[in-house]
Amino acid sequence: MEDEILTRVQALVDLIKQSSTYQEYQKIKQKMAHNPDLMHLIASYKDCQKKFVQCTYRRNKEEAARLEEELQNLERTLNQVPIYAEYVALLEPLNQSLGTIKDQLENYFAEKTKDL
C-alpha cells in the first residue's frame, strides 16, 4: 500500500513539473541564477530579513524599524528588475496550486481517518 501511495504522489509531482507554469518558473529561476547582481540583491534581502526577525524577537524596536525600511528599499529595487518581477508573478499561481493540492489531500485524509 505504501508503495502505491508513493507512486501516486510521484505521479502528482510529475504532473506539476510538466505544467507550463512550473516549466516557465524553472526557466526564469535559471536565468536569475546567472545574474550575479540580482543574486546579490536577493541574498542581501534574505540577510536583512533574518536580522529583522532577530531584532523583532529581541524587541529591539529601533533596529527593527531601520531594518524594515531597508527591507522595503531592497524589495522596491528587486521589483524593478523585470526578471524578478516575472519570477514573483509566476510563483504566486504555482504556490496557489500547491496550496490547493495540500488542502485537498488534508481534507481527503481527514475524511478517511475520522472514524479510526
Q: What tens digit of pLDDT does each residue of 63-99 get?
A: 889 999 999 999 999 999 999 999 999 999 899 988 9
Q: Which among 93, 79, 88 is positioned nearest to 28, based on CA atoms? A: 88
Identify the pLDDT of residue 99.
92
Residue 108 in any domain: the answer is yes
Domain count of the fold of the chain? 1
Give the separation between CA 6 and CA 12, rounded to whole angstroms: 10
Give the separation between CA 56 and CA 6, rounded to whole angstroms: 41
Residue 12 in any domain: the answer is no
Residue 11 in any domain: the answer is no
Residue 61 in any domain: the answer is yes
Tell me which residue has cell 536569475: 32
Residue 67 in any domain: the answer is yes
Residue 103 in any domain: the answer is yes
CA atoms in the 13 A half-sphere facing the CB of 110: 6
Identify the pLDDT of residue 2.
76
Residue 15 in any domain: the answer is no
Phi/psi for 59 (5° steps) reads 60, 35
Residue pair 84/32 in contact by the 8 Å Cβ criterion: yes
| Containing structural domain, residue 46 | 27-113
Identify the pLDDT of residue 30.
96
What is the model's pTM?
0.75
Residue 98 in any domain: the answer is yes
How many other CB atoms are found less than 10 A from the CB of residue 55?
18
The per-residue pLDDT for range 1-49, each reduced to its tens digit, is 678 888 888 898 899 899 998 999 999 999 999 999 999 999 999 999 9
